[in-house]
Structure 1
Amino acid sequence: MARIQIDLPESFLFSTEIPIYIQHINYGHHVDNAGLLSLVAEGRVRFLKSMGYTELDTEGCGLIVADAAVQYRSEAFHGETLVADFAVADFNKYGCDFVWRLLDKASGREVARGKHGIMFFDYTARKPALLPQAFVDRVSGQRGA
């Protein structure tokens, strides 16, 4: 089976620090795969908030995670702090990808990288919404920031 390969952008739009709590840890004493996705979700919420958005209101639309891909690169442990970096790529009719990486703050060790396919969604009509041009303009204007 072919392994997932995720190419990272040259620069990221947003960075935040997220501590690893005991609830993120599994019986192997490292970050659990579900815990990792919850850490990324926290980073995604902070990324959106930094632009004045929420997952229920991004340029008047909601957001749905349509797919996710992860490459685990190293273990991470309780008490470490991760640096979560986010960028936006691959715009399409209904959304884009949020590309991310997690690094250990103290060592710079890459813990994981991934992408979430983001679909804009009209929660009132319960159907996909077109990608708002204002969102594209906003994140395109921040590239390299």
Structure 2
Amino acid sequence: MPRIKIDLPEHFTFATEIPIYIGHINYGHHLDNAALISLVSEARVRFFKALGYTELDVEGVGIVVADVAAQYRSEAFHGETLVVEMGADDFNKYGCDLVWRLSDKASGREVARGKHGIMFFDYAARKPTSAPPAFVAKVSG
């Protein structure tokens, strides 16, 4: 089976720092894979907040995560601070990919990269809706 390969953009539009707490660590004494997704979810909330949105209100509609892919590059450990970079690409009618990279702040070592496929969603109607043009304009520039 082919391995997942995530191509990153040349430039990310957003970055935030997140420390690794003891609760993020597994029995192997490194960052747990479920905790990785949780950290990226926190970064996603911060990404939308930096744009003036919440995940439930992006120009009047919400988002749902449609798929997730991750590629691990190195271990991460308790006490390290991760820099999470994020940007949007691969737009389609209903959404886009949020592409991300996690790196150790002190060393620059890449820990993981990946993407979350998001779909815009009308929670009142309980159905997908078109990507808001104002959002696309904000993250495409």
TM-score tier (shorter): over 0.9
Deviation at 1:140, TM superposition (A): 1.5
Deviation at 1:52, TM superposition (A): 0.5
Residue of structure 2 in register with 1:112 after alignment: 112
Residue of structure 2 in register with 1:2 after alignment: 2
Residue of structure 2 in register with 1:81 after alignment: 81
Residue of structure 2 in register with 1:53 after alignment: 53
Report the Cα distance in structure 1 between the residues aligned to 2:80 and 2:139, rounded to whole angstroms.
30
Instruction: Please list every run of 5 or more consecutive structure 2 residues that lacks an aligned counterpart in the other structure.
Output: none
Residue of structure 2 in register with 1:23 after alignment: 23
Report the Cα distance in structure 1 between the residues aligned to 2:36 and 2:137, rounded to whole angstroms.
30
TM-score normalised by L of structure 2? 0.99
Residue of structure 2 in register with 1:13 after alignment: 13
Report the Cα distance in structure 2 between the residues aligned to 1:34 and 1:47, rounded to whole angstroms.
20
Is the 2:20–2:81 contact (alpha carbons within 8 Å) kept by the matching residues of 1?
A: yes
Q: Which runs of 4+ in 1 moved over 3 A?
A: none
**Identity between Structure 1 and Structure 2 (%):** 75
Instruction: Give the aligned CA root-mean-square deviation in angstroms.
Output: 0.5
Amino acid at match of 1:66: A
Equivalent pairs, count: 141
